[in-house]
């Protein structure tokens, strides 16, 4: 039977240090490759976000019962307006609700149910049928 000596060291400290450096370097290389591929995928598929884009060119908010928004679709998709909110309150609207790329028209909001203060800014959110939300600021009692 063979006897083991307890005074011998199994692995030197230098080899352990080198192995730890190699493992850390290879792990960092793997993380770098994974992150680079992940970012590349994210950049390649981000086109949907810029398809829907509608801007407010002007507004008329002098009347306490109806406001008129002049909207233009500057995106590449056809947009259909499904809801409008003024300061978080849903309001009814009329006028053109479907905008093709490059088209502009007016949207009339019924704000008669709201208590409005002259000179105050109100947040108007236009929501499209596919869920895009476009916020605008309208000052009651003025035109832009």
CATH placement of domain 51-139: 2.60.40.10
Strand, coil or helix: 43: helix
Indicate yes or no: pTM above 0.75.
no
The size of the chain, in residues, is 144
What pLDDT shows up at residue 6?
A: 60
Strand, coil or helix: 44: helix
What does the domain layout of the chain look like in residue ranges? Answer: 12-45, 51-139
What pLDDT shows up at residue 138?
A: 92
- The answer to whether 80 and 97 have CB atoms below 8 angstroms apart is yes
What pLDDT shows up at residue 127?
A: 93
What pLDDT shows up at residue 43?
A: 63
Cβ neighbours, 10 Å, residue 57? 12
- The answer to whether 105 and 68 have CB atoms below 8 angstroms apart is no
List the chain residues with pLDDT less than 70: 1-11, 40-50, 142-144
């Amino acid at each position: 039977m063979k006897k083991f000596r307890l005074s011998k060291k199994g692995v030197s400290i230098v080899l352990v240090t080198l192995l730890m450096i190699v493992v850390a370097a290879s792990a960092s290389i793997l993380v770098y490759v994974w992150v680079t591929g992940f970012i590349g995928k994210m950049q390649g598929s981000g086109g949907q976000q810029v398809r829907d884009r509608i801007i407010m060119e002007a507004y008329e908010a002098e009347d306490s019962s109806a406001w008129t928004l002049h909207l233009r679709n500057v995106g590449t998709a056809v947009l259909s307006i499904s809801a409008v909110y003024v300061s978080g309150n849903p309001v009814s609207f009329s006028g053109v609700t479907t905008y093709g790329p490059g088209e502009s028209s007016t949207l009339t909001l019924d704000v008669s149910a709201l208590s409005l203060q002259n000179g105050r800014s109100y947040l108007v959110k236009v929501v499209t049928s596919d869920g895009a939300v476009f916020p605008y600021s309208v000052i009651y009692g003025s035109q832009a």
